[in-house]
């Protein structure tokens, strides 16, 4: 059994990036329109025999172009995600989108594959195989690699997952993005609803979990919820934010519960302390809290 906390603390890459943990753990934020990152995420059962998966996605080039709008501490936190791909020599601002999920990292955006391969070799990686247009690199002289980089149309890194070593995990990701493997977005309607809600924002996260049996709206615990998402869309000095809660059925959505949650957490240092123009919406099985925030107020409540 995987609970809401299991998935949103560990299943997604929230801990790796330190971004959006507060909202994801209690709800979500705006986006809409789905995200191509979902094409990389395998069916949970194939990816370490899981029941659920989560993800974090950010748009580094957009974040870098808005650097002056962020507080210095929060920008530094976001930029520090570059440490996840130090071995490639890729700069944060050159990445259009980076997505993290349970031991894997995917980077996209006009990256120089030849330069990346050279950098990996300089950092003591060697080419292991080529699969589906991706060259796979593992640490030199390691027979059971725990880390593997793939370089092709995008650049990605994987770790050993479940019974698979890192190369086998990489092969699964190539199959998944190439359409030959099963994707979680197709296997799980709840996960698909999360991805559709979050979309492709500046900063976002989401995941699914076992149906919530508790009922404490003021604490962000909603009975019959099965997924959550979070997103921030930065528009210069202000940002659009929203909180998404995905329920088992449309009849389970109660915007009054969402309002109780916001009311209880809009005081000093509360999750919604700095969020203005708050509104509530129910669309099918998804309940949404949306609003705006000064971009330089992004930080503590989103960590």
Residue whose entry in the numeric block shows the structure tokens 């995200």: 35
* Residue 16 and residue 55 in contact, taking contact as beta carbons nearer than 8 Å: no
* Alpha helix positions (H), the chain: 4-6, 14-17, 21-26, 60-65, 72-79, 113-122, 166-177, 184-187, 189-198, 255-264
Q: Residue 276: inside a domain, yes or no?
A: yes
The verdict on residue 127 lying in a domain is no
Q: Which pLDDT score is estimated for 97?
A: 95
State residue 269's pLDDT score: 76
pLDDT tens for the chain, 303 residues long, are: 555 544 443 333 333 333 344 444 433 223 333 458 999 999 999 999 999 999 999 999 999 999 999 999 999 999 999 999 999 999 999 999 999 999 999 999 989 999 999 999 999 999 999 999 999 999 998 888 899 999 999 999 999 999 999 999 999 999 999 999 999 999 999 999 999 999 999 999 999 999 999 999 999 999 999 999 999 999 999 999 999 999 999 999 999 999 999 999 988 778 888 999 999 999 999 999 999 999 999 975 543
Q: Give me the residue label for tokens 């979500």.
A: 28
Quick check: is 15 in a domain? Answer: yes
Residue 191 lies in a domain: yes
Q: Residue 162 domain-assigned?
A: no
Question: Is residue 145, in this structure, part of any structural domain at all?
Answer: no
Cα Rg of the chain, angstroms:
19
pLDDT of residue 19: 37
Q: Which domain holds residue 208?
A: 1-96+181-303
**Is position 125 within any domain?**
no
Tokens of 61: 């080039």
Q: What contacts 155, CB < 8 A, 6 or more positions away?
A: 85, 88, 90, 106, 107, 108, 111, 113, 116, 149
pTM confidence score:
0.88
**CB of 80 closer than 8 Å to CB of 60:** no
Supply the pLDDT for residue 206: 94
Tokens of residue 120, six digits = 């990996």
The structural domain count of the chain equals 1
pLDDT, residue 300, reads: 52
Q: Please enumerate in sequence order all residues whose Cβ is within 8 A of that of 34, keeping only pairs 6 or more positions apart, or say none.
A: 195, 196, 199, 200
273 lies in some domain? yes
How far is Cα of residue 169 from the mean position of the Cα atoms in its chain? 18
In angstroms, the CA 231 to CA 201 distance is 6
């Amino acid at each position: 059994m995987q609970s809401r906390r299991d998935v949103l603390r560990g299943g997604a890459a929230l801990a790796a990036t330190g971004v959006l943990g507060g909202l994801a753990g209690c709800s979500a934020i705006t986006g809409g329109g789905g995200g191509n990152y979902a094409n990389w995420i395998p069916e949970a059962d194939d990816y370490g025999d899981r029941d659920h998966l989560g993800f974090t996605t950010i748009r580094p080039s957009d974040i870098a172009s808005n650097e002056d709008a962020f507080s210095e501490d929060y920008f530094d936190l976001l930029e520090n995600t570059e440490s996840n791909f130090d071995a490639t020599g890729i700069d944060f601002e050159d990445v259009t989108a980076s997505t993290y999920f349970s031991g894997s990292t995917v980077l996209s955006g006009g990256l120089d594959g030849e330069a990346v391969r050279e950098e990996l070799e300089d950092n003591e990686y060697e080419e292991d195989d080529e699969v589906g247009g991706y060259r796979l690199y593992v640490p030199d002289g390691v027979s059971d690699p725990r880390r593997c980089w793939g370089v092709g149309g995008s650049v990605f890194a994987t770790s050993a997952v479940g019974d698979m070593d890192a190369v086998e995990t990489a092969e699964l990701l190539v199959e998944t993005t190439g359409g030959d493997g099963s994707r979680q977005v197709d296997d799980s309607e709840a996960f698909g609803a999360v991805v559709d809600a979050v979309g492709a924002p500046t900063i976002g996260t989401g995941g699914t979990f076992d149906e919530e049996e508790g009922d404490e709206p003021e604490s962000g615990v909603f009975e019959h919820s099965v997924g959550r998402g979070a997103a921030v869309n930065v528009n210069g000095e202000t940002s659009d934010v929203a909180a998404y809660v995905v329920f088992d059925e449309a009849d389970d959505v109660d915007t009054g519960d969402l309002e109780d949650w916001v009311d209880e957490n809009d005081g000093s240092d509360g999750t919604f302390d700095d969020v203005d123009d708050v509104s509530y919406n129910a669309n099918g099985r998804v309940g949404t809290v949306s609003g705006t925030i000064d971009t330089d107020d992004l930080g503590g409540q989103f960590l």
